[in-house]
Amino acid sequence: MSTPDEKRAAGLAKIARVIALGKRISDLDLYQSWLYHLPASVFRADHLSSLRDVDLGFNHLYTIPNSIGRLSSLENLNLSTNTLTTLPNSIGRLTSLRALFLDSNRLIRFPASMKHLSLLTTLCLYGNRLSALPAFIYHLPVLEELDLGGNQLTMLSPSIGLISSLTHLVLINNYLTPLPTSIGCLSRLKSLWLRANELTTLPSSIGCLFALRELYLPDNKLIALPASVVVGDAINSRRKIVIRGNPLLAAREWDDNELSATSAAASATKRCRRREGRRSMFEFKPRPLIDIAMDFVWNNMVVIQSPPPPPQ
């Protein structure tokens, strides 16, 4: 098994070889090479402008050379698990970039030039030191996957609703208390992960997320869920909600504002019909024209689905 010094020597030798050969290549893999710095000339060679994938993950890099901005064809860049505290302004010139992984670094702020990454669809910022969403994120027109978990976020700006292209949003392991109502504007959102925050309630606008299929809420301080999250016309397909590790009361009464979970295992059952073949499956009719099915799993994972259409 190679020692760290041997891996570092091999990584530097690979860089020197790639530069010296003068041959166009499409990928450069320096993952886990124990590198502490990159030569300033590493990306200056013209023949490296054809690079599409660069993997510098799991090193000890504390800075990235400005020459990275010369990689005009770069589509995937992995800088995860380093010791980066800042990024060069030239990163904004990577206009072909589609996926950027910056997780497990020490980043606090980002260059404004990153707003020019107009083709970026995947951005991972997990495990940094962010206390607010970087401003450039709101300017990414096709961003679909955003991971902001493991930071120091206490609130989200209402501007989060402007990122209308989002399909997956990860906010686990932060300190979020209220969520802005504008989160309901993310009409394409399919999964929303909010585990391990400080949430005591959710905005009813979450019920407007018609595309949502996964809502992960474990280990918060939720005592009630908005009715719009689990009932109403907004539910038109199968949806999974995970709520374990919250002080939710078991289902009290249904009303237009919230679904509390008081001891409704008792009160709700009086209005429910047990269906055979499904464990703890109830059919609720709390209000006219509302007829849904809920499957209570004992680990507090709730699977919600719309009822089958009535027989013709």
Inter-residue contact 259 to 250 (CB < 8 Å): no
- Contacts (Cβ under 8 Å, ≥6 apart) of 300: 218, 242, 243, 244, 245, 246, 248
Stretch 53-75: mean pLDDT, rounded? Answer: 95
Cα–Cα nearest to 240, from 296, 298, 290: 296
Which CATH number is associated with domain 4-250? 3.80.10.10
- Compute the mean pLDDT over every residue in the chain, rounded to the nearest whole number: 80
Beta bridge partners of 242: 216, 301
pLDDT at residue 160 is higher than 90: yes
pLDDT higher at 17 or 234: 17
Minimum mean pLDDT among 8-22, 160-174, 223-237: which range? 223-237
Q: How confident is the model at residue 259 (pLDDT cuts 50, 70, 90)?
A: very low
Tell me what the mean pLDDT of segment 53-72 comes to.
95
| CA R_g for the chain | 24
Nearest to 184 by CA among 223, 210, 147: 210
Alpha-carbon span 149 to 130, nearest angstrom: 10
Cα separation, 128 vs 87, whole angstroms: 13
pLDDT in tens, 95-150: 999 999 999 999 999 999 999 999 999 999 999 999 999 999 999 999 999 999 99
> What residues contact 198, with CB distance under 8 A and at least 6 apart?
154, 175, 176, 177, 220, 221
pLDDT at position 237: 53
Residue 22, pLDDT score: 72
